[in-house]
Amino acid sequence: MGLSISADARAAKSSQLQASFQNLAESANILNKESDKFSAAVGLLDEALNRLSPGVSAWVKVSSTSDENEPWMFYEERLGFSKTNNRWGLSLSRVLVDSNNGEEETKDLWLFNDAPRNLRLRAVDHVPDLITSLARETERTAREIAAGAEIARELLQSVNAAVAAKEKR
C-alpha cells in the first residue's frame, strides 16, 4: 500500500498549496495591520480613562454561556476598568459563575489589548455600557468618601477636644 499519486496530481496539490499559502500570507498581513489599528485606538481610549484617575473598578457582561448538563454553572465574559497586573486599565475576564450559591471564580484576566482577539472584538461594543457603569461607581464612591471624611472630621474634633481637656488639667 504505497503512495501512488501521479506526478501531475502532486504538482496540482503543490500549486494549490502555494496559492493557499500566498493567500494566507496576504490575509494575515491585512489582519495584523487592522488589529494593530484596533489596539492603538483602544490604547488611546485606555489612556483617556486613566487620565481621569477614577481609582474604582466597574465591570459589564459581554456574553454568557452555560453547559446544558449543568445549567446553573455558566461562563461570563466581562469587560471592565480595573487594576489588572498592577496597572489600571480596560480589562477583560472570563468568570465561572455558580448560580446555585452565587460563587464566582475568575478563570482568565487580561488587560484589554493582551486578551484574545475574538474576545476583544466581542467586548468593544460594550465600552459605552462600561463607561456608564464606571461613572455610577465613581459617583457612589465619591459619596461614600464624602461621608467618611465627615466621620473623620467628627472624630478629629472629638480627639482634639479630649486632648484640650487633658491639657487643661
Condensed to tens digits (0 to 9), the pLDDT of residues 73-103 reads 999 999 999 999 999 999 999 999 998 998 9
What pTM does this model have?
Answer: 0.81
Condensed to tens digits (0 to 9), the pLDDT of residues 102-137 reads 899 999 999 999 999 999 999 999 999 999 999 999
Return all residues near 74 (Cβ < 8 A) that are at least 6 apart: 64, 65, 66, 67, 96, 97, 99
